[in-house]
Amino acid sequence: MKSARVFARKPYRQSSVALAVCGVLYGSVSANATAAAASAALNDELEEVVVTGTGRTQSVVDVPFNISTISGDQIEALNLSNPVDLLRTVPGVSVVDRGVRNAGVVNNVRIRGVNVDAATLGDYAVAGTAAVTTYVNGTPIFANFLLKDIERVEVLRGPQGTLYGRGSLGGTVRYILHDPVLGKTSGEVDAGVSKTAGSGGMNWNADGILNLPIGDKFALRGNFSHVDDAGVVDYVNLYQLDNNGIPVTPNGVLDPATSYTSKKDADWYSIDYGRLAATWQPSDSVKLVLNVIQQKDSTGGRRQVVKPGTVNNATGGVYGDYANGAVLLEPSKRDVSMTSLEATVDLGFASLTSSSSYTDHSGTSTTDNSGLYGKNWPFLYDYYPRLMAQKYRDYTDRAFAQELRLVSNTDRNSTVDYIAGLYYEDEKLHSGETDWVRGFTNWWTAQDAAFPGSVSYYDPVAPTSDRDFLYKRSEQFRELAVFGELTFNFTPTMHLTAGVRYFTDKDSNSVSVVPDLPTRYAESAPVVPDADKSKAVYKLNYAWRFADHDNFYVTASQGYRRGGVNDIPTTGVVGENPGWVNFGPDSLNNYEMGIKGARDRFSYNVSVFRIDWKDIQLNTQTPIWGYYVTTNAGKAQSQGIELEFQGKIGDAFHYALGYAYADAKLVEDARRPYSPYALIASKDRPLPAAPKNVINASLDYTVQLSKGMSLVPHVDAYNQSSTFNYLANSDAAAIRLDSYTLWNVSVALNAGKWSAIMFCRNLTNEMAISGMFPESTFGSAPADGFAGNDSRLLISNPRTIGVQLKYKF
């Protein structure tokens, strides 16, 4: 019966060939659970592993583009809890590891090198949207939720605008959760403890899942997780503050002396995640699933450090391992929620799916900008000796999205398949920033009283507040899109697919900018016109299944990203060229050819690609006052190859290997679009945060101790070649970041309902640097009133050793 394909999959039997096919599907992650099951039952029948990345349930070998999937069992077996560690297992995908602080503000996923933004981007909500689109079930949202109760994660490389409602420039990542299961009461509880090198405390986590059927047509499923991390980074030269939050002056306000204190393990974090889901299936052809998800994050500071051995001008000596030189703490908080209702109806000839969702994502953070001010603009504050530039940021992103999708129910003998969809999105965004130079007003008043006329200050009226700058930006974005694909099946093994997405965008903005220091003369609010845009993007694909378990495909597809508005003053002393207010869309053409398949105990997936990208959106700074803006700058190209192999040796050894090569670079000079027309980067410069070579490898061995009990040792490695920190015109300005390798090992003991895993992540304690705030821009400047140090290295988590226990019922 065709309707069964919508809601259920037949219970495939384990086979060595199936595990090989899983290698294509699962990328280069090795699943301990899968390996253990493999040693218990082997036969010669090919299993069909299915995915839903194309909008219908089909074999991964039949998917005519490069897709990798990681199963929930693999995520559990490898003890993965965050998307950064997960995505490092997928060839062709790279991430910038920012830790938990502000991890949900800016999407840090890069696919096939499609990125021109600095590796350090992420402290503030940018005006542009991400190149990679992420979904939780059918809801478009980038939230960096904990990886809990996951059925699978699908990574689709290249633009997918004709398959999904929200547009996609460089790729799509889908996190698919377990639905409540009818007719079965089940659950699990697990808990773990771990210790991180350099930390003074212990980390712990606890999770619980309960699936509860109510009758034969309704079921509930709930899960809750708590993570408590002790932190590892020490803030070693914090200003000692008085009750008003102003630096203490031990010898009086006019004396430059400063008192310092410190905070150990300041980058602690706490995460609470909860989900409640309900499934109602009144008939074989109708199914509704409701999900309500919420996550709260709190962090005490950055997992970012000054380069060890750098001179500490504040307290003397040098900075040691895991030391941060900020003069104030940099906490953050985040609250993200998602409510979605997905309904599927089998109409016989097609399946109709409705996905309705509302998301609410908000957060705050405090940033020490003293190093930036001290290195670049100390004269604006008359070389105030205890420069403390405190930046408080907040953001909210609320969105309603509705997608309707009609997918034909068909088989290999049908002549035509189709996918047709309608998408509507209404998104309201707000970002704000309040900057303070703490203690400046008291110092100015005392200095002017003691030495009349000595303070060189732009405003003849004495300041009455330490507030330096204030802005508020609001945006409402609406999009209506129709999308779809039509597949012509010339033979049961040869197919041609054409796709299109036509959309209309409406964007309205309001901006309020109030500079207070160094002058109050520049208050301005630029007039921002509403922006409307309509466009179509296309896709063409040819697929040939030349053997029972081998598929060849060629794809040409287009990606598109909307334009927008920047929040900057355009008049007065601190005004910029009005041309910076607006930026346009960017687009790319993706060309891809690949082959995938399976042979007994071996699977493979090989693809080559080329991407031509124009009017690239670059998040940068204005040339005069350094406002954060998005602008269009030049053309870029990325081309390369992706390889994935997986298989078994004997009944116990399981291996996986992935390799990706991406040569991503500018093919046209990138210049500032307005006077002064300075060169940002010249033709042939590599794109930042885009490693040219990435290798993923894993190996595990299953030992059957007795009936129902197994031991699975596992090792995996991730290596990426050097990257550049910024898009700039020289290696010295762009800053080359060294290559690194991360090793992880574990031993899992599976005994019926009980399991335990001992693990060590980052076995060699590699300081893997994925971004840098350089000394030349953010570092110490004692002669100009700042002896702290805001230069920072974005490092991966140090070596962490722990144990996780689990009980399923």
Q: How far apart are CA 111 and CA 607, in angstroms?
A: 14
Rounded to the nearest 10 degrees, how much is the dihedral formed by the CA atoms of 444, 445, 451, 454?
40
How confident is the model over 171-175, as a mean pLDDT? 92
- 619 lies in a domain? yes
716-729: buried (b, 16+ CB within 10 Å) or exposed (e) per residue? bbbbbeebbbbbbb
Q: What is the pLDDT of residue 633?
A: 86
Candidate from 29-33, 172-176, 673-677 with smallest mean pLDDT = 29-33
SS3 74: helix
Per-residue three-class SS string for 648-708: EECCCEEEEEEEEEEEEEECCCEECCCCCCCEEECCCCECCCCCCEEEEEEEEECEEEECC
Let me know: does 46 contact 22? Beta carbons within 8 Å.
Answer: no
Determine whether 616 is exposed, middle or buried from the number of CB atoms within 10 Å of its CB (0-12, 13-18, 19+): buried
- Region of residue 626 (left: phi > 0; alpha: psi -120 to 50; beta: else): left
Q: Phi/psi zone of residue 183: left (φ > 0), alpha (ψ -120 to 50 degrees), beta?
A: left
Report the b/e string of 364-398 with b at 16+ CB within 10 A. Answer: ebbbbbbbbbbbeebebbbbbbbbbbbbebbbbbe
| Confidence band, pLDDT 50/70/90 cuts, at residue 30 | very low
pLDDT score recorded for residue 679: 87
803 within some domain: no
Tell me: pLDDT of 622 over 70.
Answer: yes
Identify the CATH number of the domain in which residue 681 sits: 2.40.170.20
Which pLDDT score, from 0 to 100, does residue 50 have? 55
Q: Is residue 3 part of a domain?
A: no
The count of domains in the chain is 1
Of the two residues 540 and 510, the one the predictor is more confident about is 540
Query: Which DSSP letter does residue 449 get?
Result: H
Higher pLDDT, 108 or 595: 595
Q: How sure is the predictor about 53, in pLDDT bands with cuts at 50, 70 and 90?
A: low
The average pLDDT across 521-543 equals: 75
Residue written as token pair 């998602």:
338
Q: How far apart are CA 312 and CA 326, in angstroms?
A: 11
Tokens 């803030």 belong to which residue? 235
Q: Is residue 427 part of a domain?
A: yes
Parallel, antiparallel, or unpaired for β 150-157 and 171-177?
Answer: antiparallel
Instruction: Give the separation between CA 276 and CA 221, rounded to whole angstroms.
Output: 6
Would 633 be classed as within a structural domain? yes
Is 799 part of a structural domain of the chain?
A: no
Mean pLDDT, to the nearest integer, of 692-718?
A: 94
Q: What is the DSSP string of 280-333?
A: EEEETTEEEEEEEEEEEEEESS-SEEPPTT-B-TTTSSB--TTEEB-SS---EE
Which tokens in the block code for residue 290?
């409701």
- Report the share of the chain in percent with pLDDT over 90: 62
Quick one: which of 166, 680, 695, 120 has its CA closest to 424? 166
3-state secondary structure of 402: strand
CA distance 765 to 747: 19
678: containing domain: 12-736+749-794
Selected residue with higher pLDDT from 512 and 771: 771
Mean local confidence (pLDDT), 519-539: 70
Question: What's the first-to-final CA gap in the chain, in angstroms?
Answer: 32
> Is residue 659 included in any domain, yes or no?
yes
595: Cα within 13 Å, side-chain hemisphere: 4
Q: What is the pLDDT of residues 246-284, one digit of tens each?
A: 999 999 999 999 999 999 999 999 999 999 999 999 999
Closest CA to 792 of 303, 364, 298: 303
pLDDT category at 64 given cuts 50, 70, 90 is confident
Round the average pLDDT of the chain to a whole number and report it.
87
**pLDDT tens for residues 472-509?**
888 899 999 999 999 999 998 899 999 999 999 998 88
| Of 420 and 102, the one with more pLDDT | 420
Cβ partners under 8 Å of residue 42, min gap 6: 14, 15, 16, 651
Of residues 107, 111, 114, the one with CA closest to residue 130 = 107
Q: Is the pLDDT of residue 35 over 50?
A: no
207 falls within a domain? yes
Count of Cβ atoms closer than 10 Å to residue 492 Cβ: 11
